[in-house]
Structure 1
Amino acid sequence: MNYRHGFHAGNHADVLKHVVLLAVLDALLAKPKPLSVLDTHAGRGSYPLSGTQSRKTGEADSGIARLRQAPARVLEVPAIARYLQVVDELAAQAGDADTYPGSPWLIASELRADDRLACCEIQAEEADALRDLLGSDPRVGVHRRDGYEAMHALLPPMPRRGLVLIDPPYETQLAEFDTAMDALKDALSRWPQGSYALWYPIKRRRELHGFFRRAARLQAKSVLCVELLVRADDSPLRLNGSGMLLVNPPWQVDRRIDPALQALRDALGEPGASWRMEWLKPEAP
């Protein structure tokens, strides 16, 4: 695998993913029972936005950097304010305002003493960096292994309540959607009460209709689709947007996320930008 998230850290897809991730975590952490989290494609956990990889693409400039310049009505939306607060706190902890946290660091920063996080990363260099960052935390385990294989091997977890974040690189492009859906189906057969969050890229959305049909047929209590397109989805050559497929999401988490979507479209969008939140399988009343 050749993917390196350092080239894309802090872009519009990261912004959506992390706003939604924190909203889901906050909803789960509102209950006192201990929580397990599995991050299947964890990366290195921390990225310098002033570093060579980030500056080569400049993707953070149209992501978190643009969001910071948004008007107050955007920045005061609770889910967005929460996201920026956590990012700033972790950058201050690192002693570098240009540090951007990856998902495992964001998750670890929110865990309580009895909660647990398992992070999987198959690339040795990235796994070593993540171990340097979080390896001393007794609540966190860092595993150099394939994330999909880990979903089969590590579920159900202990504690039995929790979340799986699935954030693959999609190097195999459309084939990755089938791989991820197969892994979700298998995971639900062994941990049906778990919550799952699958990030996915959007180039041309019409190519994803089969993915959505499969998602709607999952043996889950509910399935919610959350998307942000920063431009029209009319080109297969660039990342026009992204989404989070939330399977068994916490009760009423959509109410936390909904106000942020229009605000993110307004802050990050170009002509043709849009957002979408749709229940593919609604929650029971």
Structure 2
Amino acid sequence: MNYHHSFHAGNFADILKHVVLMRILTHLGAKDTPYRVIDTHAGAGRYDLGSEEALRTHEWKDGVARLDQSPLASSVEALLAPWREAVATARERHGTGSYPGSPWLCRHAMRAEDRLIAAELHPTTYKKLATTLGRDSRCKALAIDGWTALRANVPPKERRGLVLIDPPFEEKDEFATMAAEFIAAHRKWPTGIYALWYPVKERRAADGLVNAIEDAGIGRLLRLEIDVDRPEAAGGLGATGLLVVNPPWKLAEEALLLLPALCERLAQGPRPRYRCEPIRPDG
């Protein structure tokens, strides 16, 4: 699977990933001590939904555009608020067709003392990322492989923060690589929060990732998935997940409100499904 992000920006998978990301950052920002985010496969940082790539797939129409239509229940909107506010700010600054990627969202949520390391190997995409982050001294864009960035930057000196792992899944063994690289990073920094994004094209691959991490003895996992029941004739991705390691307190409770509402709003078929599964929550 080749998940070149400019074709998929603002789709249902982004919604899950970015809404949960903003919830995690909100929890991190609730404490006075600084934190660091390590975004291993950062992408361009910001996307134009009017670009040739985005218009070729129109995936954002079944993603962010659906959430633009009308508010959800007030309890859900309270949890969506940080993400909605960030998207609104991106549109105000960069135009109504702008959609923020994870580095932009992190920079928006960070305080003066917080830091971001964003890695992107692809030269053209890296240049866009560097432009997106600009001269913000809190942020550093690195033109290196994401796995190299992960190995080199954990544990961060703050000893507090988040690692977002979101590879493009261009290699057929990417699930195995993700499991191995995460497990190695966790050994170095077992108290950090990690969010591992994955596509669900084959259930066996997603289950294998979680099983490998469980077999390594790692506890305090929260498995979040949504399946929008995309018709097979439409092709493309129909389900996605996030595995959150050391989730902030109450994130599972929040997800139980968010995921059903997102599933219903983003459904493309009659049988959308979601999963909110704490695994060894006290491990």
Q: Distance in 2 between matches of 1:183 and 1:74?
A: 39
Q: Distance in 2 between matches of 1:115 and 1:130?
A: 19
- Which shows bigger deviation, 200-209 or 176-185? 200-209
Offset at residue 74 of structure 1 (A): 7.2
**Aligned residue number for residue 46 of structure 1:** 46
CA contact (8 A) 2:113 2:138 kept: yes
CA contact (8 A) 1:223 1:248 kept: yes
- Unaligned residue ranges in structure 2 (runs of 5+): none
Offset at residue 90 of structure 1 (A): 1.7
The answer on 1:138 being equivalent to 2:156 is: no
**Aligned residue number for residue 78 of structure 2:** 78
CA contact (8 A) 1:215 1:223 kept: no
Q: Distance in 1 between matches of 2:137 and 2:217?
A: 34
The answer on 1:181 being equivalent to 2:179 is: yes
Offset at residue 231 of structure 1 (A): 0.6
Which of 264, 267, 279 pairs up with 1:266? 264
Aligned residue pair count: 282
Offset at residue 128 of structure 1 (A): 0.9
- Which shows bigger deviation, 73-82 or 240-249? 73-82
**Aligned residue number for residue 16 of structure 1:** 16
CA contact (8 A) 1:224 1:279 kept: yes
Q: Distance in 1 between matches of 2:207 and 2:231?
A: 14
- Unaligned residue ranges in structure 1 (runs of 5+): none
User: TM-score with structure 2 length normalisation?
Assistant: 0.93
AA matched with 1:193: T
Alignment partner of 1:193: what SS? coil
**Aligned residue number for residue 256 of structure 1:** 254
**Aligned residue number for residue 120 of structure 2:** 121
**Aligned residue number for residue 225 of structure 1:** 223
AA matched with 1:158: K
Offset at residue 5 of structure 1 (A): 1.1
The answer on 1:245 being equivalent to 2:243 is: yes
Q: 1:60 to 1:74 in 2, by over 3 A?
A: farther
Structure 1 stretches of 4+ moved >4 Å: 232-235
Q: 1:2 to 1:202 in 2, by over 3 A?
A: closer
Offset at residue 79 of structure 1 (A): 2.2
CA contact (8 A) 2:8 2:54 kept: yes
CA contact (8 A) 2:252 2:278 kept: no
AA matched with 1:189: R
Note the alpha carbon deviations across 1:192-235, whole angstroms, 9 max, x for none: 11110000001232443222211223443411101111017979
- Which shows bigger deviation, 117-126 or 275-284? 275-284
Q: Distance in 1 between matches of 2:26 and 2:66?
A: 25
Q: Distance in 2 between matches of 1:238 and 1:119?
A: 27
**Aligned residue number for residue 146 of structure 2:** 147
**Aligned residue number for residue 88 of structure 1:** 88
Matches within 5 A, 1:90-109: 90-94=90-94, 96-109=95-108
Offset at residue 69 of structure 1 (A): 1.7
AA matched with 2:170: E
**Aligned residue number for residue 55 of structure 2:** 55
User: TM-score with structure 1 length normalisation?
Assistant: 0.92
